[in-house]
Amino acid sequence: DAKTTQPNSMESNEEEPVHLPCNHSTISGTDYIHWYRQLPSQGPEYVIHGLTSNVNNRMASLAIAEDRKSSTLILHRATLRDAAVYYCAPGTGGGNKLTFGTGTQLKVEL
């Protein structure tokens, strides 16, 4: 399984960009990289996923390193509602199996 590491916590000011890093050095060439976020007492919420090239959606951007051993989730303008635990979750061995990292607690301050 892919070994996934993330910082335990990060802080940001509101309206500023946030870059959340993730290392997944053992990912295979065909596994997608997913990101989810979770609020207390809720299930994880899908944020974004990609394979090789950078991806954008209305919530965030995903920058994937050329060797795919790391990725960065980018929140362009953090808001108080973005405070959550963010999980990097590479796929494993094809199909639908995710290996979740330990998550990064994002704190957003005014």
Partner 1 sequence: KAGVTQTPRYLIKTRGQQVTLSCSPISGHRSVSWYQQTPGQGLQFLFEYFSETQRNKGNFPGRFSGRQFSNSRSEMNVSTLELGDSALYLCASTPGDSGNYGYTFGSGTRLTVV
Q: Which residues are near partner 1 by CB under 8 A?
A: 30-32, 34, 36, 41-46, 48-49, 51, 87, 89, 91-103
CB 14 within 8 A of CB 78: yes
Q: How far is the CB of 44 from partner 1 (least distance, A)?
A: 5
Q: Which residue, 70 or 101, has its beta carbon nearer to partner 1? A: 101
Q: How far is the CB of 28 from partner 1 (least distance, A)?
A: 11
Whole-Å CA distances, 38 to 3, 12, 21, 26, 30: 20, 17, 17, 24, 26
